[in-house]
């Protein structure tokens, strides 16, 4: 089972620190002063409504609709997560349309070597290329975000089933 990051809406205060950390984690220069409105493309988005404030991010779906919709095979299951192979993306937007959570984004990035812009399908990659795990989790001041390990989840489910079975047995 895939790993994924999940948020507790009850703890989120809508400060958007997670969005900034996400952008910085994926920025080559690692320079806050290089952030602009145009290049600010976080892979999770804080949504604020009258009733709830919470980050929305990729669920790392096991049978990922985005991957199934991609004709360029640019979205793959890899390292207990769903990853985009940017070199294959042609910017057709099929993945955006397919994702039920609105977790996929499409951005144009400068590609100076080619003297033109390059399109990228962006979603949470669980910061797999960074040391120490997802950056959003590390910076959240209220600890509203946490990572669920797929393997741990399976173990928890097995334990719950065992407890449920014991409960049934002892009530007899």
- From the CB of residue 1, how many other CB atoms can be counted at a distance below 10 Å? 14
d(CA 31, CA 71): 35
**How many residues bind to ligand SF4 according to rule CB under 6 A?**
28
Return the number of the residue (25 or 122) whose C-beta is nearest ligand SF4: 122
**Binder of ligand SF4 out of 18, 75, 137, 144 (CB under 6 A):** 75
CB of 76 to ligand SF4, least distance (A): 10
CB of 74 to ligand SF4, least distance (A): 4
CB of 75 to ligand SF4, least distance (A): 5
From residue 94, alpha-carbon distances to 46, 66, 68 in Å are 23, 7, 9
Is 90 a binding residue for ligand SF4 by CB under 6 A? The answer is: yes
Per-residue binder mask for ligand SF4 (CB under 6 A), 121-140, x = binder: x-x-----------------
Q: Which residue has the tokens 């640019």?
A: 74
Residues contributing to the site for ligand SF4 (CB under 6 A):
58-61, 64-66, 69-70, 72, 74-75, 82, 84, 89-95, 99, 101, 103-104, 106, 121, 123
């Amino acid at each position: 089972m895939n790993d994924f990051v999940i948020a507790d809406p009850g703890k989120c205060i809508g400060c958007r620190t997670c969005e900034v950390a996400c952008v910085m984690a994926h920025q080559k220069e690692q320079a806050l002063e290089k952030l602009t409105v145009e290049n600010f493309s976080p892979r999770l988005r804080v949504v604020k409504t009258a009733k709830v404030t919470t980050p929305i991010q990729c669920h790392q779906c096991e049978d990922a609709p985005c991957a199934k919709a991609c004709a360029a095979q640019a979205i793959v299951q890899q390292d207990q997560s769903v990853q985009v192979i940017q070199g294959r993306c042609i910017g057709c937007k099929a993945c955006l349309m397919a994702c039920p959570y609105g977790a996929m984004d499409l951005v144009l990035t400068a590609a100076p070597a080619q003297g033109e812009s390059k399109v990228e399908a962006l979603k949470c990659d669980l910061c797999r290329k960074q040391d120490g795990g997802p950056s959003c989790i590390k910076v959240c001041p209220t600890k509203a975000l946490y990572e669920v390990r797929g393997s741990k989840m399976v173990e928890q489910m097995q334990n719950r089933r065992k407890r449920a079975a014991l409960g049934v047995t002892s009530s007899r």
